[in-house]
């Protein structure tokens, strides 16, 4: 099946620094990728939709200047948490859906997630 | 996007069949129903998907009634390793549409 690779799996950073998380679709092209955030014991919350070659679309309440998203190619999207603070500590997950509809419904593939801890 | 409702949690003993029902009253004509499994500190993993009637694969079955306003994920003979959170999602086939997660069902399998 299709694979989405997310890197790093975990990161610890100091408050005030920036952290970049990469999301790659390994064997398919994805015009659109999605970034989620998950707090302990809670569900995934959609943060933004990343569009190849254009600006990301952010969900209400998500600061676009804090969570910078770049979708430079059909297989790579990056999320940069700028000036990270302890409250940004969370589990970040990316998702990608094949550009070409294979007629099998909304297949979505998820990365393994990135555990961010800001100290 | 259609909103889904699932039980918050379920407990089961090893070896039993587990059925998790999801309500999606506002499902649209072109929406599919997809179930994902998530273990702690991992991304969701696809289990099964369907549009209507019954779908079966090597790990689960999905039952969808004619009105499609609900669906039931059936896990045969669960084991301890099936302890996870299970999410029911509905959405169209467009690749540009994000999947919106509900609260999911936390399944605990007991020895």
pLDDT tens-place string over residues B73-88: 999 999 999 999 999 9
- Per the CB < 8 Å rule, is B91 touching A106? yes
Alpha helices in chain A (DSSP H): none
A53 touches chain B (CB under 8 A): no
Predicted confidence band of residue A30 (pLDDT cuts 50, 70, 90): confident
What span, in angstroms and rounded, lies between the C-alpha atoms of A6 and A25?
9
- Per the CB < 8 Å rule, is B104 touching A43? yes
Closest Cα of chain A to B86: distance in Å?
A: 10
Q: Give contacts of A 57-116 with B, CB under 8 A.
A: 91, 93, 95, 97-101, 103-113, 115
Average pLDDT, integer, range A87-100? 90
Structure tokens at A76: 């790579």
Residue of A24, A28, A102, A105 to mutate for B, most B C-beta atoms under 10 A: A105
What span, in angstroms and rounded, lies between the C-alpha atoms of A106 and A95?
12
**Nearest Cα to B65, choosing from B4, B105, B23, B3?**
B23
A41 pLDDT more than 80: yes
**Nearest Cα to A95, choosing from A53, A62, A38, A46?**
A46
Structure tokens at B23: 């309500």
pLDDT of residue B16: 97
pLDDT tens-place string over residues A105-117: 557 889 999 999 9
- B91 → chain A, closest CA residue: A106
A72 pLDDT more than 60: yes
Structure tokens at A21: 């998380």
Predicted confidence band of residue B30 (pLDDT cuts 50, 70, 90): confident
What span, in angstroms and rounded, lies between the C-alpha atoms of A57 and A41?
26
CB-based burial, B33-49: b 16+ in 10 Å, e otherwise: bbbbbbeeebbbebbbb
Q: Smallest Cβ distance to A106: which of B45, B97, B104?
A: B97
Predicted confidence band of residue A1 (pLDDT cuts 50, 70, 90): low
């Amino acid at each position: 099946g299709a694979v989405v690779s997310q890197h790093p799996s975990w990161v610890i950073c100091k408050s005030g620094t920036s952290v970049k998380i990469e999301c790659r679709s390994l064997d398919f092209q994805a015009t659109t990728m999605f970034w989620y955030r998950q707090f302990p014991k809670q569900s995934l919350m959609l943060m933004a939709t990343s569009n190849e070659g254009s600006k990301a679309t952010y969900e209400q309440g998500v600061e676009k200047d804090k969570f910078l998203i770049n979708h430079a190619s059909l297989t790579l999207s990056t999320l940069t948490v700028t000036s990270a603070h302890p409250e940004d500590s969370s589990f970040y997950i990316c998702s990608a859906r094949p550009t070409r509809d294979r007629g099998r419904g909304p297949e979505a593939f998820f990365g393994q997630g990135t555990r961010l801890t800001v100290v | 996007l259609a909103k889904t409702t699932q039980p918050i949690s379920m407990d089961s003993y090893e070896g039993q069949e587990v059925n998790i029902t999801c309500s999606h009253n506002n499902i649209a004509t072109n929406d599919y129903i997809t179930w994902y499994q998530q273990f702690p500190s991992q991304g969701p993993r696809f289990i099964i998907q369907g549009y209507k009637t019954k779908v079966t694969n090597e790990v689960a079955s999905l039952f969808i009634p004619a009105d499609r306003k609900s669906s039931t994920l059936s896990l045969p003979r669960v084991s301890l390793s099936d302890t996870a959170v299970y999410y029911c999602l509905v959405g169209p086939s467009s690749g540009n549409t994000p999947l919106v997660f509900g609260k999911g069902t936390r399944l605990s399998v007991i020895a």
